[in-house]
A and B are shown apart, each in its own frame.
Chain A
Amino acid sequence: AQSVTQLGSHVSVSEGALVLLRCNYSSSVPPYLFWYVQYPNQGLQLLLKYTSAATLVKGINGFEAEFKKSETSFHLTKPSAHMSDAAEYFCAVSGGGTSYGKLTFGQGTILTVHP
């Protein structure tokens, strides 16, 4: 079984401030982990993914995430928020067994960026 918990359904930051979106996962096998962004009425766009290579993963638009096995975490960060970062962000895990290849999503975190 696999699951994802995103801490904080809403995060609000000022433009230029650090963005930190939290994600903890549960998986019975070494996981693949993903962060997606969704703008209103649109599909999902992949920001970055962890596939058992480097634990610090760099993605698009200045985002990065660090895989920490001991903490079962995969938090998303960006040093300086931009107004265009305002969107909903989903963390997802893909594991093995009967869930192989399937994505399980977290509840989502809405990021608001204030000028």
Chain B
Amino acid sequence: GAVVSQHPSRVICKSGTSVKIECRSLDFQATTMFWYRQFPKQSLMLMATSNEGSKATYEQGVEKDKFLINHASLTLSTLTVTSAHPEDSSFYICSARDASGLTYNEQFFGPGTRLTVL
């Protein structure tokens, strides 16, 4: 149980284009999802917290208009990198929190999406 998927696993795009990454909780309902980015040889940095049916909360320094987050259902959150540039190239990882049961404080992580902007 508690499986989170991400799609696509890898994407290469041209500078200036937008890229959408999907994060799905497959066997539980996730009222809260989190988006992280990880640069090579670095730790995970939280970008934003996404709550179903409401606006995402962004961490300091993360551009809201550049990283659009939508959490329209209890099993799906999307991250859209708008007008991507080479510096946006990174590994993006989502996680989901199951609001029910004993795992409330635990986050379940997706496999990540490698974004390369040329």
Query: CB within 8 Å of B: which residues of A?
Result: 32, 34, 36, 41-46, 49, 51, 90, 94, 101-108
Contact = CB atoms under 8 A, between A and B. Distances in A.
B54 interface: no
B74 interface: no
A101 B112 contact: no
A99 to B, nearest CB: 10
A52 B50 CA distance: 27
Contacts of B105: 32, 51, 94, 101
5 contacts: A36-B109, A44-B109, A45-B109, A90-B43, A101-B32
A94 B39 CA distance: 22
Contacts of A105: 43-45
B43 A103 contact: no
B93 interface: yes
B34 interface: yes
Q: A-side binding surface: helix, strand, loop or mixed?
A: strand
Given A90-B44, A108-B43, A43 B110 contact: yes
Contacts of B43: 90, 105-108
Given A102-B49, A105-B43, A43 B97 contact: no
A69 B108 CA distance: 26
Contacts of A94: 105
A107 B114 CA distance: 20
Contacts of B111: 42-43
B46 A102 contact: yes
Nearest to A90: B43
A94 to B, nearest CB: 6
Contacts of B42: 107-108
Given A51-B105, A108-B43, A103 B112 contact: no
Contacts of B44: 44, 90, 103, 105
